[in-house]
Amino acid sequence: MTTYVLVPGACHGGWCFERLTAQLREGGHRVLPLTLTGLSERRHLLHAGVNLDTHIEDLVGTLEAERVENAVLVGHSYGGMVITGAADRVPDLVDALVYVDAFVPRDGESCWQLTDDRQREWYLGVAETGYAVPPLPFFDPRASAHPLASFLQGIRLSADLSRFRRRDYVYAKEWDGGSPFRPTYERLLDDPLWTVHALDGKHDLMRDAPDELLRIVLDAG
């Protein structure tokens, strides 16, 4: 049995992994889908002070409270920032990392630095509150505003990711207008420390390529 902890991207909750969660549990694995502070069913906790550190602590706290060992952390999109930070803080609890069309930051980097101008324009659409990035119109109705500070804050890392048994990167090939994750994909493609995959599908690979994603996640475990 493998323990998988699933971390969603911006504006989403653990429900975005519903199908993957069910498939993994059917295989006898322990699965913990996480909703981060201030998002979806926890949106009542959103305020200007919620940032990347808050979300990293969400994940670290879950690993510790659930007495998780040898976890496979799966992060979608923004969730890549969160699994990177948590793995750095409690490396003894983490075995492998799977980035699903996600950010893979190095020390000091932020989402703002790693993304493209189109995404930055979206991040700044916070006129109503000044700190809450609204979900895009095509998102699931359960999506909610995302804390701007978490996009702007640079991550603090004490080491690189080479200490973990396995690191997988899953790239979505179908983005309208080009993928903000292409530079990350190209950076990791020839790195022998990474297993890199490119799937036919849009950013929501849990929806567009569920069988291929399941295979990759199982292989990582």
Question: Of residues 40, 77, 144, 150, which has the active-site annotation?
Answer: 77
Contacts 24+ apart (CB under 8 A), 192-198: 193/161, 193/162, 193/167, 194/167, 194/168, 194/169, 195/166, 195/167, 195/168, 195/169, 196/168, 196/169, 196/171, 197/168, 197/169, 197/170, 197/171, 198/171, 198/173
Can you name the residues that pair with 72 across neighbouring β-strands? 4, 96
* 77 included as an active-site residue: yes
Query: For residues 156 and 81, what is the distance between their CA atoms, to the nearest angstrom?
Result: 10
Query: For residues 24 and 153, what is the distance between their CA atoms, to the nearest angstrom?
Result: 33
- Any idea which residues carry the catalytic annotation? 77
